[in-house]
Each structure stands twice: as C-alpha cells, then as structure tokens.
Structure 1
Amino acid sequence: MSVQDSAFSLLAKIIKVISLKNIAIWSFAALVVLVGYTVFENRGPLVSYLVNGPTINAPSIIGFKVSSASQARVKQLVDIDDLINSIVIMNADIRNNRRVPLYWYSDDVSVQKTLDGTYAGLYGGIPLFTAEEKNNENVVGVINGEFACSEYAAGNTAVFPGLLSRMPFICRASLPPYYGQFSGFVAISLNRKPSPDELIVLKSETLSISTEIFFRDIVPSQHISKYDK
C-alpha cells in the first residue's frame, strides 16, 4: 500500500470515529432534552410524589342525599313489616374511615328518639373501621357487596348504640348491593331473629331498596345518569 493510500485510509477512520462520536453526543443531548421536557411537563405530580409519597387509590366518599321518594320507601317497609324495627342509611368514606348516617326511621317512637339523639347533627360521621373485630368483618362484608345478618352484639354497636334490648338482630346490605361501587350501606334492625322464609323476603326487600337508592340518589349525585324522583 502506498503512502497516499495509507493516508486516505487513516483519514477515513478518523472521520468515521468523529462521526460516530458526534452521533452519540447528539443522541445523548436529545435524550437529555426529552427527559428534561417530560420532567418539566409533569413537575406538579412529581413534586407531589416527592413531598407526599405515592398516592393510594382508595375509594373516597361519594356524597349523596336520601330523596323524599327513598325516605317514603324506607318508611313503608318499616311500617308494614312487624319484623323490622328500624332502618338506617349510611354513607361511607373508606379513605377517611368514616360512616355518615344520612337517614334513619323507626316506627317505635322511643327507638326513633334514641336514633335522633345519636345521629342528629353528626355531620362528621363515626369511624367505619373500629377496634371491634366483628364490626370490621361486617364492614368488609358490605364493601364486598354481601347481605348478612347477625345478633346485635356481633359488631353492630357502632350503628345502633345502646339498643340491644330493642333490636336483637341486625341485617346489612351494601349500597349498591354488589361489589365495585361501594357508597355506603343499609342497616336494618329486627325485633327478633328471622325465620328462613322471612330472611328470604327480607333479603329481597333490602336489596331492592339498596338498588333503588343507588340509582335514584347516588348515581345522579355523580352525574352519571338521571333517575325520575
């Protein structure tokens, strides 16, 4: 190989090395710019993450009011069924561990007075989960959309405090009566333990009321759809 050929070969290698180096530098610079732009565009969430840590996607409270039609439906069921002592409609906020009584009714004047004294003005609600293990089991049950009944003492004092002698048995159903959109629950106090046949009827009526309240009162509050009140 001549000196001239060697010189051209060396020059070609130098140009190739310089070109690859430039490509690498420009690619790295472009990557830095892209990352910097992404960070700048998402600076709010990133700062929040660094300051407050990761966000836990827990269900939050879904505020709603029990309509007059739903109240009338609850009253009708309590008044015509001798088995039922009272019904309480609870809103629930899992994130802040609160249950908020929205509406309650009993055809027993003394029980109604006790419920009024317990719930009236209780806008901040009461704890959803407590130190009582059975209460927490009941709460998990309604979150999962279960309908269940149990004796008063089995975790029900948080809903019906001091009323053991008046309502020995309590049933609960989720709002709505299925898993996925938990907004609260319906608690029904009974004058006695229901028979198997009575329990079937009671479950049907409770799930019906829960469904009606969900579509009549809860869904419109979230602007999902309309329901004729």
Structure 2
Amino acid sequence: MSKKFEQQVKYSIQLKAKVAQLLDTRGGDADVDRIRRLEASLSDAHADLNNALVKVAKLESQLGQELSMKVGQMATTDSPNQDKITFLQELLNKKKVEMEEMRRELDQSRFHLRAESVKSSGVERELYDAKREAEVWKRKIIKLDVDVRRLKLKCGEEVQQKPLVKKGNVEIIGDCDITEKENISSEIKTSTPTSDAQQKLGSDAHLKPKQASVPTECKQQ
C-alpha cells in the first residue's frame, strides 16, 4: 500500500508539473475571455449596422414606390408640367428631411456606441490585468506545490532509509549524536574503577595506620 501511495503521489506531481507547463505555454483564461468579449462587441456593431442598412433600404423602397405611384397618376392626368415639377420637388424635400433624421439617429447611435466601447475597453483592460495577475500567481502556487511535494517525498525516502537507534525508551533516527555520547560515556567508564576488589582497596586505604617516621639521628645510633 505504501508503494502504491508513493506512486500515486509521484504521478500527481507529474500531472501538476504538466499543468504548470500548459499554463505557461497557453495564453490563459484572460486572453480567451478578452477574445470572446471582442467578438461579442463586434457582433453587436455588425447588428447595429445591419439594422441601419435595413432602415435605409426600407426608406428607399418606400420612396421608390411613392414616386412610381405619383408618376403613374401624373401620367394619366392632363395637368401642366409645372404642377408635376412642384409636386416632385415637395416630395423630394420631404424625403430629404426623413433621410436627415435617419442619419442623425444613426450618428447618435454611433456616438453612444463609441462612448460605451471606451468605457468597456477601460473596464476590460482592468479585468484583463487582474486576471493575468491571478493566473501568474496561480502558476507560482502550482509550482511551489509541486516543489513542496517533491521535497516531502524526498524527505520521506531519506527518513525511511535512515536506521532507528534506540536510546533508553526512545528511538532516534540517525546516529550522529549517539556515537559522540557513547564515546564520552566509555571514557568515563575507563577512568573509574570497575571491579569490586579495586573499590574495596580504594575504600580501605584511609583505614590503614600510618608508619611512624624515625628521625635520622636515631637511625645512625
């Protein structure tokens, strides 16, 4: 089970390393979101332009139909040419006014579109910068997590390889401090008496009476 767990940990580390590489090579979610927003704004601009073109085409068709109807009516009547010219001029002036109104509406819609695009571009830039910064920190966190997992795995293998040294009731990993303490204890043991006879001799030494010293003059006599 322990081997299987270690294999799973190593596999997860490899997967996270690959994810970090993909995040480095790929543009990130911020670029994708920015492209999508630009595509959406472009489609909205195309829709507004198509609506304006439809309105202009509709107005032109109405103008053509009205002119054709009026021309047909004037062709059947016997009115003088001056009346026809006056009528056509009035109709043309009316259609010009309508065209000017349509142009003003179109210009106003374009102005609002530009203002909104400027606002959205500023907000979009801030959002893009924030997302890019978040992705940078995300990549750093993933790399740090991979490094930490590798270090933990390496430290775990080193701990398993080191022997356990029993000191009293405690098992200690490694023997760097134990050898020094054992050397010191061995030196203390060699400096002290080890046998009971030596201890007895040492204890009886102070009980033995001292030999009286004879003066040199008495020895010469």
User: Which TM-score applies when normalising by structure 1?
Assistant: 0.24
More strand by share: 1
User: Which TM-score applies when normalising by structure 2?
Assistant: 0.25
**Higher-RCO chain (CA-CA 8 Å, sequence separation at least 6):** 2
More helix by share: 2
